[in-house]
Amino acid sequence: MPQITFIQPDGRRQVLEAADAPTVMHLAIRHDVAGLPAECGGQLACATCMVDVPPGWRDRLPPASPDEQDMIEDTIGSVPEGRRLCCQVAVTPALDGLEVAVPETQG
Ligand code: FES
């Protein structure tokens, strides 16, 4: 069962067992991770599920689709390195140990 860590802007960490969560966003919602309202429920329509993936993990995740990149850019004006919509990141065993940072704001 993959373990995924969410890091808040103030450094607080939540280490969560992904169990049967289909995406990183679902895992965050189930555990009330702060700063990730995920208002559209994973429909790629809100960009309120942004996280920052550290350099060592960026190439280990499936790349962001053009639609995901467009949604981020439309929301904050650019696509910072490692910025992802966590509703678009499926949980797989390969994500065990992933750490993502929750940004100060969601747009
Ligand atoms: S939850 Fe809305 S885009 Fe991810």
73 residue type, one letter? E
Alpha helix stretches (DSSP H) within 31-107: 55-58, 66-76
Number of other residues whose CB lies within 10 A of the CB of residue 84: 25
Distance 78 CA to ligand 1 centre (A): 17
Ligand 1: which atom is nearest the Cα of residue 71? 3
CA 72 / ligand 1 centre spacing (Å): 10
Query: What's the whole-model pTM score?
Result: 0.96
Q: Tell me: the pLDDT tens digits for 19-44?
A: 899 999 999 999 999 999 999 999 99
pLDDT tens per residue across span 7-25:
999 999 999 999 899 999 9
For residue 107, pLDDT beyond 80? no
pLDDT for 37: 96
Q: How far is the CA of 48 from the centre of ligand 1 (A)?
A: 6
Q: Is 50 in the pocket of ligand 1 (CB under 6 A)?
A: no
Which of 23, 26, 30, 49 gets mutated to test ligand 1 (max ligand atoms within 8 A of its CB)? 49
Q: Can you give 24-36 as a three-state secondary structure string?
A: HHHHHHHCCCCCC
List the Cα angle 48/4/24 in 5-degree steps.
Answer: 35
What's the pLDDT tens digit per position in 48-86? 999 999 999 999 999 999 999 999 999 999 999 999 999
Residue-range domains of the chain with CATH? 3-101 (3.10.20.30)
| Distance (Å) from CA 59 to ligand 1 centroid | 21
Q: How far apart are CA 16 and CA 53, in angstroms?
A: 16
pLDDT for 19: 85
Mean per-residue pLDDT for 99-104?
98
